[in-house]
Amino acid sequence: MATIHITLSIHHRGRFEREPVGKVSYIGGEVTEIERVNVDTLNGFFISDLLKDIGYTSISEFYWLEPGKELHDGLRLLRVDMDVVRMYEAAMKNGNRIHLYTEHPVDQPVVVQVKELTPSKGRRKVCVKRVPTPKKTPRKRLAVVEDDDDDKIVGNVQVEK
C-alpha cells in the first residue's frame, strides 16, 4: 500500500469573530503550510508538536475546517485521535489538503528595557522579549567504554548449560 501524505494549512496568531448575522471570520494571523504529512503517523501528539515548533506553549482549542463549508458551519473540534482520522479522511477527498485553525491565549509580554521619551515624537520606547517555547531535553544514551581489565572480567564469567 502506498504512503498517503496530506498538507496541513495551519491558521494561527489570529482570532475568531462572530458577526451578528452568525457568520464567523478568522481575523489576522498567518498561515503555515506543513507539506507531506504522513497520515499513518498523524495524531494529536504530532499536531501538538507541530504547534510547539511554530512557537505555541498552550492552545485553547484546535479546529479543522470541513472542505466545502464555511467557518460558521464547517469547523470541527480536534480533541481525540478519532477526530484526527475524520480530518485526514476529509483531506484525502479534498486534494490531500486540510485547513486547521488555532485558538490560543495571548501571552503577556516581558518588558526587558524601557527608554525615556524620544524628543522627536514624545513616545516611550519599550523593548519586549519573547519568551521562547521550552525545548525538548535530549535523550540520554548509554556509552560502552572498554577498559584494560575487560579481558579479566570476561575470563571469570562462566555460562552454565
Does the predicted TM-score (pTM) go above 0.85?
A: no
Q: Which pLDDT score, from 0 to 100, does residue 131 have?
A: 60
Q: Which three cell numbers stand for residue 8?
A: 496541513
SS (H, E, C) 22-40: CCEEEEEEEEEEEEEEECC
Count of H helices and E strands in the chain?
Answer: 4, 7
C-alpha–C-alpha distance, residues 148 and 150, integer Å: 6
- Mean of the pLDDT values across residues 123-147? 58
Q: Does domain 1-148 have CATH number 3.40.50.300?
A: no
3-class SS of residue 100: strand
Is pLDDT above 60 for 12? Answer: yes
Contact 97, 7 (CB under 8 A): yes
Residue 83 confidence (pLDDT) above 70: yes
Distance CA 101, CA 61 (A): 8
What distance lies between CA 35 and its chain's CA centroid?
14
Q: What is the mean pLDDT of the chain?
A: 78
Radius of gyration for the chain, computed over Cα atoms and rounded to the nearest angstrom: 25
Q: How far apart are CA 43 and CA 56, in angstroms?
A: 18
Amino acid at 54: I
In this prediction, residue 75 has a pLDDT band, given cuts at 50, 70 and 90, of very high
Sign of the CA dihedral running 36, 41, 43, 48: negative
Where residue 159 falls (left for φ over 0; alpha for ψ -120 to 50; beta otherwise) is beta
What element of type H or E holds 92? helix 81-92
Residues 129 and 112: beta-carbon distance below 8 Å: yes
The per-residue pLDDT for range 103-121, each reduced to its tens digit, is: 876 655 556 665 665 555 6
